[in-house]
Chains A and B, each alone.
Chain A
Amino acid sequence: MNEENTKAAAHAGSYGMKLLFTSPGIEGGELADLIIGAVRSIGDEIGRRRKMLIGHVKVFISVPGGSLQVNMVDLDLGPEKNDRLPADKITEGEIRLMAAVVGLDDATLEQIIQNGLGPLRHKLEMDIMAHMHEH
Chain B
Amino acid sequence: MIICQLAGFLGSGKTTLLIRLGTALGRAGRKVAIIVNEVGEVGVDGAVIESNGLRSVELTEGCICCSLSGSLQNTLRQITKEFAPDIIMIEPTGLALPGKVKQIVRTSMIGEDRTFTICLIDAYRATKLFAEAGAFLSRQVDGADVVAINKVDLVSADAKGQVESIVRGISSSIPIAFISAREGGGVDQLVKMLEDTL
Interface residues of A (CB under 8 A from B): 1-2, 4-7, 9-12, 14-18, 52, 54-56, 58-60, 62, 67, 69, 71, 73-74, 77, 84, 96-98, 100-103, 130-135
Q: Would you call the interface of chain B mostly helix, strand, loop, or mixed?
A: loop
**Cα(A6)–Cα(B66), bound, Å:** 7
CB distance from B66 to the nearest CB of A (A): 5
Question: Which A residue's beta carbon lies closest to that of B13?
Answer: A73
Q: Is the CB of A6 within 8 A of B96?
A: yes
Answer whether A69 and B48 are a contact pair too, CB < 8 Å, given A56-B10, A100-B10: yes
How far, in whole Å, are A131 and B42 apart by their CA atoms in the complex? 7
How would residues 24 to 51 of chain B score, 1 for a CB under 8 Å from any chain A CB and 0 otherwise?
0000000000000011111110011001
* Contact call B136/A10, Cβ cutoff below 8 A: yes
Asked, given contacts A62-B51, A73-B10, A77-B124, whether A9 binds B44 with beta carbons under 8 Å apart, the answer is: no
Give Cα A73–Cα B39 distance, bound, in whole angstroms.
15
**Which residue of chain B has its CB nearest to the CB of A66?**
B51
Whether the Cβ atoms of B42 and A134 lie closer than 8 Å is: no
Interface pair B136/A7, CB less than 8 Å apart = no
Verify A54–B128 contact, CB threshold 8 A: yes
Q: Contacts of B51 on A, CB cut-off 8 Å? A: 60, 62, 67, 69, 84
CB neighbours (8 Å) of A132 from chain B are: 40-42, 61
Q: Which of B40, B47, B65, B66 contacts A14 (CB 8 A)?
A: B40
Interface check B91, CB cutoff 8 A: no
Looking at chain A's contact residues, the main secondary structure is: strand
With a CB–CB cut-off of 8 A, which chain A residues contact B175?
none
Chain B interfacial positions (CB closer than 8 Å to A) = 10-11, 38-44, 47-48, 51, 61-63, 65-67, 69, 93-97, 100, 103-104, 107, 122, 124-125, 128-129, 132-133, 136, 154
A15 near B48: Cβ-Cβ < 8 Å: no
Residues of A within 8 A of B136 (CB): 9-10
Tell which of A4, A17, A71 touches B11, judged by Cβ atoms closer than 8 Å.
A71
Chain A residues with CB under 8 A of B103? 1
Selected contact of A2 from candidates B104, B129, B133, CB within 8 Å: B104
Most B-side CB within 10 Å, residue of A2, A97, A134 = A2
